[in-house]
Structure 1
């Protein structure tokens, strides 16, 4: 059955609004079909472990004081927790990749993935319903209703736009933060070198640099602050530095992390490694600026051809063409 035949059948059965009503009904059925999956919550492994421990040590749990406070708040403060099975990826690999992607954009909360998918789903459904309302209002107020193709596009188009808008926003945020970290990293290395040569340790230097960069490069300062907090928490320094390289997504930062780890493993001078690497980073920043400057003439060529050559040709060739046309007209009249 073709789309035209189906549209004609729906129009005959339900009137001019038949295709729109049918599309709205299908969307409503899809939402109702997914509601059980959204409400169904998978059992938390921590709750299972807590239940098994309480079953094995029931008497000890009953003998606990009444005013004892739980170590972890599991009261479900997140409103999206009951939709976690629907809004979060099922596999650990997809969940890990989604968290890394959102961390590169600056969203580091524990529920960032869940919130992102909730916004994506809510925007898609909301704009889809808005498109349905617009088509119904237009057909009710205008003498000539919209055609079936335009009506379907007016309904589906906003829904698709709402679904992909959060992804576009996150990608823009990732690109902006990556560019900011890449631009500010040479200055951060220079300040870190000054701190190390002044007698501070690498950990203290990172804390000092994060405070100094807060006004000029807030994204890089936030990354350095995260590194300092993780080191204070007792995590392994190579693991903390590798996590910093993964979050930033900048190849220069990954190379710096490799240099720092090798310097620590082989016992070489950190100050000397920082000095050499900082000089290399400054040279790379100058090369990137020269590359951007060299691209400007190529990018301006199209604009020059479009907005300069046609007016110049009109000024130069226009009078000659006008004289030729007048001569041809005078010859034809003779």
Structure 2
């Protein structure tokens, strides 16, 4: 006996209820799996910092045989890329250094990825451009397009594929810099407390890294790495300069300059950091006020497009119905 009830896309109410119950059960299972397999994001960062400590201490990376085999495999791949790029005379030292600095600012410690970035700039335009030329001109997948539109799409595919590695890295740098900027005032306050408590600079950086590691993992990682370099590098100035190079923030460069001056001239560290912390907090408040001041202008378009028409319908709708009934 066929059902005579209302259907939606061929599904009855019972079918829809069963489907929604199945989706709800699947969502609960996924949530339970995610909660049971949660991992501490600091474990990987701590492991990378320990590797850096061993590199500074002994000049080699101390790890297990499986990790060492993986590193050798990555180095072999990088060597093949380097050989290929060198044979084409497209690998320049200045370009390689710029790529390494960007990767460090993005939080990628391995310098071998700089070769992959330059290799991607060379290979991606060939692959993507070849596919675009095949689809546009060879197969003629869009025959209704004009000549200028086809050439524009082809040129856009080439340009986008060439800039794709740089855009990806720049996006990572921007997100990481914004995450670090949020924690600088709190980090400076903790540095002031550690300096007034009598801790040395490297011990203060290590303490701040442990305290802020959960709230601001990127900043905690950078401070921990700076503490390690302060302990092992021959020149302490080099550790602070490396911190300014790894983080693309003018605010942190000011902190590094202050730290270098206190190391060189022996000026009070706590007072200088307290002034910097107050300035950064004032700057953060100014940015918040600027965003709040832009909010009315930003809300104008949604107000006109979505809120006002609905308001007019609600207010004028009954009046229009009454007028139509009167006439």
Q: TM-score when scaled to structure 1?
A: 0.62
1:32-47 equivalence runs, <5 A: none
SS at match of 1:215: coil
Alpha-carbon offset, residue 189 of structure 1:
1.2
- Once residues 88 and 205 of structure 1 are traced to their aligned partners in structure 2, the CA distance between those partners, rounded to angstroms, is 45
1:236 and 2:235 correspond? yes
- Once residues 229 and 215 of structure 2 are traced to their aligned partners in structure 1, the CA distance between those partners, rounded to angstroms, is 23
- Once residues 234 and 206 of structure 2 are traced to their aligned partners in structure 1, the CA distance between those partners, rounded to angstroms, is 16
Q: Equivalent residue for 2:196?
A: 197
- Once residues 156 and 228 of structure 1 are traced to their aligned partners in structure 2, the CA distance between those partners, rounded to angstroms, is 48
CA contact (8 A) 1:129 1:155 kept: no
Q: Equivalent residue for 1:245?
A: 244
- Once residues 267 and 156 of structure 1 are traced to their aligned partners in structure 2, the CA distance between those partners, rounded to angstroms, is 58
Comparing 252-261 and 221-230, the one that deviates more: 221-230
Q: Equivalent residue for 2:206?
A: 207
1:115-194 equivalence runs, <5 A: 115-135=116-136, 149=147, 156-194=155-193
Task: Please identify runs of 4+ aligned residues in structure 1 that moved more than 6 A.
Answer: 314-325
Please, which runs of 5 or more residues in structure 2 have no aligned partner?
A: 1-71
1:246-325 equivalence runs, <5 A: 246-311=245-310
Please, which runs of 5 or more residues in structure 1 have no aligned partner?
A: 1-72
- Once residues 177 and 90 of structure 2 are traced to their aligned partners in structure 1, the CA distance between those partners, rounded to angstroms, is 26
In structure 2, relative to structure 1, the CA distance for the partners of 1:233 and 1:83 (3 Å cut) is farther
1:113 and 2:114 correspond? yes
- Once residues 88 and 192 of structure 1 are traced to their aligned partners in structure 2, the CA distance between those partners, rounded to angstroms, is 45
Cα deviation per residue 1:156-177 (whole Å; 9 max; x = unaligned)? 5444332222222112111111
In structure 2, relative to structure 1, the CA distance for the partners of 1:252 and 1:129 (3 Å cut) is same
In structure 2, relative to structure 1, the CA distance for the partners of 1:281 and 1:135 (3 Å cut) is closer
Alpha-carbon offset, residue 249 of structure 1:
1.9
CA contact (8 A) 2:75 2:112 kept: no
- Once residues 183 and 176 of structure 2 are traced to their aligned partners in structure 1, the CA distance between those partners, rounded to angstroms, is 11
Aligned residues: 251
Cα deviation per residue 1:87-116 (whole Å; 9 max; x = unaligned)? 864253x44333222322222322232111
Q: Equivalent residue for 2:83?
A: 82
Q: TM-score when scaled to structure 2?
A: 0.63
Q: Equivalent residue for 1:45?
A: none
Alpha-carbon offset, residue 241 of structure 1:
1.4
Alpha-carbon offset, residue 263 of structure 1:
2.2
SS at match of 1:308: helix
Alpha-carbon offset, residue 183 of structure 1:
0.7
SS at match of 2:190: helix
What's the RMSD between the two structures over aligned residues?
3.6
